[in-house]
Amino acid sequence: MIIEAVTKYFDMMIGMPVQYEGCKPGLGYDELEGPPPPVLPSRKTVIVGMVGFVGTMNGIINLYLEEDLAKKVTGSFLGMTPEELASEGPEVIHDSLGEMANMVVGTFKNTVSDKGFQCRMTVPSILRRTNFTIETPSGVFRMLYMFKVMNDPFIADLTMKPGD
């Protein structure tokens, strides 16, 4: 469902091909001896778009990409040149990545809802840093889905567990 959601977003809104490269389980902090490695190891600034879903299934999807790709994706999303984008400031990039997360998570959540797990989405958040990781407790389902967009890495990090 995640792969379909990411592919649909890039196909419909960006017009860029996206390649799925495989997935691996994300480890909770109880399963690691030392600090966990960054999800997207990079010396460049990494931006994460985050949207959660709450209901009979709870979870969050974090979408990781480097700043350079974020600019390219935003430019295609909004039909803006790099110069126009630069004049708008970083806010428009953050807003676009928030909307990207909203659309990807929306597609995923709608399928989950149609399977009988009613949930609602949260408003998007953005995280922008270098060399960081987001940890999750053990006992929840966590999977990292790796993609390539124009040879740059793009990672969808899904964490979820059934609601009460």
Residues that bind another protein in the complex, under the rule CB under 8 A: 8-9, 12-13, 74, 77-79, 91-92, 95-96, 98-99, 102-103, 105-107, 109-110, 113-114, 118-123
Nearest approach in angstroms of CB 80 to another protein is: 8
Nearest approach in angstroms of CB 135 to another protein is: 27
Nearest partner of 56 among 139, 118, 142, 122, judged by Cα: 118
Kindly tell me which of 95 and 152 has the beta carbon lying closer to another protein.
95
Q: Do the Cβ atoms of 142 and 56 come closer than 8 Å?
A: no
Kindly tell me which of 125 and 133 has the beta carbon lying closer to another protein.
125
Kindly tell me which of 66 and 99 has the beta carbon lying closer to another protein.
99
> In 25-140, which ranges are continuous DSSP H helix?
67-78, 82-88, 90-114
Nearest approach in angstroms of CB 30 to another protein is: 33
Kindly tell me which of 94 and 142 has the beta carbon lying closer to another protein.
94
Between the alpha carbon of residue 80 and those of residues 30, 55, 128, the distances in Å are 45, 37, 22
**Rounded to an integer, what distance in angstroms lies between the CA atom of residue 85 and that of residue 82?**
5
Q: Which 3 state secondary structure label does DSSP give 121?
A: strand
